Amino acid sequence: MRVRNLPAPVKRVVHLGSRSYGRLTAESRMLPSFLICGGQRCGTTSLYRALAAHPVVLKAVLHKGVHYFDTSYDRGAGWYRGHFPTLRSAERIGEKYGVRAQTFESSPYYMYHPQAAARIARDLPYAKLVVLVRDPVERAYSQHHHEVARAYESEQDFGAALTLEPARLHRQEERLALDPTYYSFAHQHHAYRARGEYARYLSVMAQHVGRERIHVVESERFFSEPEAVYDEVCGFLGLPVGLDHPAFERHNARPRQAEMDPGLRRDLSEYYRPHDEALAGWLGHTPVWRRG
């Protein structure tokens, strides 16, 4: 039985019971050795499913995204640890394969929340971070479509939502950085243009955790060359490479929306040009969406 297939009221009861039990048994549970931190609408769910299928990886219990280091940090370390498999489960994997088992989670907002990187550095000092990036123009358009579909966005027109973005986000990043209890719905759900400024967020993460602990993946490459990219990620994470590859599928994809206005696409592409040039330093090459 898969929890995600249960009716919503039943699912809430199961999750509550599991989290309560997890908190009580927190000391006997694993902590993540790596995190998928973003970006949103860049294929994080697909990579999560692929890595969760690795024989020496144990995924988080119930949720792929715990959202501890962004919106739930006040719940405490015991609450967080309660989301992960037991140390005994890791021991069984180690006995079977002769290597240390790992666990992880995937919360795309970690890349963007102003306090997340410092919290990760403090609480998971050895964890590695995997970040996916995508053509930022397509990413922004996809996010708007996604937020509208979830009823988190009332403005149906993408161009109008971009126009509203500066006012919606005014001082929100500053308030989040200064007040650990503050929450901004607009910052989490309406930062369409801002979230494509990948190099800016990567630089902040590197200041806290170190650049050597961050691996950046172009989602276009992941979907066109999944085996090669998967092996690269496994190598970075210290997971055995050369085992059978999982089935690579697209998850969380939504039906294709209408084509973007060509003028708006052109303006966004120019806006992101310096950000993409900065990202090239992380990738070691020009981003795939800037070639040709």
pTM of the complete model: 0.89
Each domain of the chain, given as residue ranges in start order, spans 27-246+259-290
Span 179-200, pLDDT tens digits: 999 999 999 999 999 999 999 9
4 Cβ contact partners less than 8 Å away, ≥ 6 residues apart: 11
Span 72-124, pLDDT tens digits: 999 999 999 999 999 999 999 989 888 999 999 999 999 999 999 999 999 99
Segment holding 125, helix H or strand E = none
pLDDT for position 252: 62
CATH number of the domain located at residue range(s) 27-246+259-290 in this protein: 3.40.50.300
| Averaged pLDDT score across all residues of the chain | 90
pLDDT tops 80 at residue 254: no
Average pLDDT over residues 227-250: 89
Nearest C-alpha neighbor of 225 from the set 248, 257, 252: 248
**Buried-exposed string 182-209: b where 16+ CB fall within 10 A, e elsewhere:** eebeebbbbbbbbbbbbbebbebbbeeb
Q: Rank 178-182, 256-260, 288-292 by mean pLDDT and report only the highest.
A: 178-182
pLDDT tops 70 at residue 63: yes
Whether the ω angle into residue 210 lies within 30 degrees of 0, i.e. cis, is no
Average pLDDT over residues 46-67: 90
